[in-house]
Amino acid sequence: MIPKIIHYCWFGRNPLPKTAEKCIRSWKKCCPDYEIIRWDESNFDVNCNEYCREMYEQEKWAFLTDYVRLRVVYENGGIYLDTDVEVIKPLDDLLHNSTYMGLETTDKVNTGLGFGAERNHWFIGENMNYYEKWKSSDPVETCPIITTRLLESKGLIYNHLNVNHLNGVTVYPTEYFCAKNSHTGEVCITKKTYTIHHFDASWQTKSERTKTLNRWHDYKIERQRKIPKRIIRKLLGNDKTELLKRIFRIK
């Protein structure tokens, strides 16, 4: 049974942004009886291994938390949430798992979406091993790549409709924890959705983040542009709509 603890990380000694404060309020609203623990320089040893020390010195906070989240959940049990994760309904139904994670829209399992585990769970320990063996000469990979690679070695089958059970590791489909599409910015909430990961992507450079926001904006404009066409097609049907397009030479 996963204990009712929510962990989050905030390194760098900067104030929390308004977006993070809003997300944390959603945790308190949907999980009022959960203990919420913040991990930062005051209660976590950033020199505990070479990976953490390097990431901290380079101020790569997001990469630093890739390890910290695993460590604190392994040692304490509970649920980890990124500070850009909004909870929209209680998480109690997930606590029966010994550990759970969720698929992202890119066929990757992302611990940043939120994950939970009992204390000392074997898979979390194996996931930690990658970082504990890491050397400064090694490449820095994102957590979805590392975690997914490990799960694939355990037999992960990508299925966005059904829940995967892998020897005590439960992997939920995209709709459970990733209602927002990272490529388009579109949000699709279903009855099964627990959380929305807003993809603040603090690990990206400013130019990369701007590119992402521009892509989301372009997609939204394109969707709005097509609304009249979708309404006409719904009212007239496909045949009449195609006829009108040929008559007026509409693409």
H or E stretch at 219: helix 206-236
Q: Could you tell me the pLDDT band of residue 50, with boundaries at 50, 70 and 90?
A: very high
Q: How far apart are CA 64 and CA 53, in angstroms?
A: 9
The radius of gyration computed from the CA coordinates of the chain, to the nearest angstrom, equals: 21
pLDDT at 81: 98
Asked if 172 contacts 97 with a C-beta cutoff of 8 angstroms, the reply is no
pLDDT at 160: 76
pLDDT at 105: 76
More confident residue, 123 or 213: 123
Average pLDDT over residues 132-138: 97
Average pLDDT over residues 54-67: 96
Cα of first residue to Cα of last residue in the chain, in angstroms, is 56
Question: Burial, 179: exposed, middle or buried (Cβ in 10 Å; 0-12, 13-18, 19+)?
Answer: buried
Q: Could you tell me the pLDDT band of residue 181, with boundaries at 50, 70 and 90?
A: confident
Average pLDDT over residues 151-172: 90
Q: How far apart are CA 233 and CA 240, in angstroms?
A: 8
Strand order in the sheet with 35-39: 35-39, 5-9, 78-80, 115-117, 99-102, 169-172, 164-166
pLDDT at 93: 98
Burial 218-243 (b: 16+ CB within 10 A, else e): eeeeeeeeeeeeeeebeeeeeeebee
Nearest residue to 52 via CA among 20, 41, 42:
41
The tens digit of pLDDT for each residue in 70-83 reads 999 999 999 999 99
- In eight-state DSSP terms, residue 244 is H
Least confident of 196-200, 228-232, 238-242: 228-232
More confident residue, 216 or 86: 86
35-39 and 78-80 beta bridge pairing: unpaired
pLDDT > 60? residue 91 = yes
Total-model pTM: 0.81
pLDDT at 72: 99
Q: Could you tell me the pLDDT band of residue 157, with boundaries at 50, 70 and 90?
A: confident
Asked if 233 contacts 241 with a C-beta cutoff of 8 angstroms, the reply is yes
| Residue 172 backbone dihedrals phi, psi, to 5 degrees | -90, 150
Q: How far apart are CA 176 and CA 190, in angstroms?
A: 8
5-9 and 169-172 beta bridge pairing: unpaired
pLDDT at 206: 55
Asked if 117 contacts 109 with a C-beta cutoff of 8 angstroms, the reply is no
Least confident of 86-90, 200-204, 235-239: 200-204
pLDDT at 249: 57
pLDDT > 50? residue 215 = no
Q: How far apart are CA 2 and CA 96, in angstroms?
A: 7
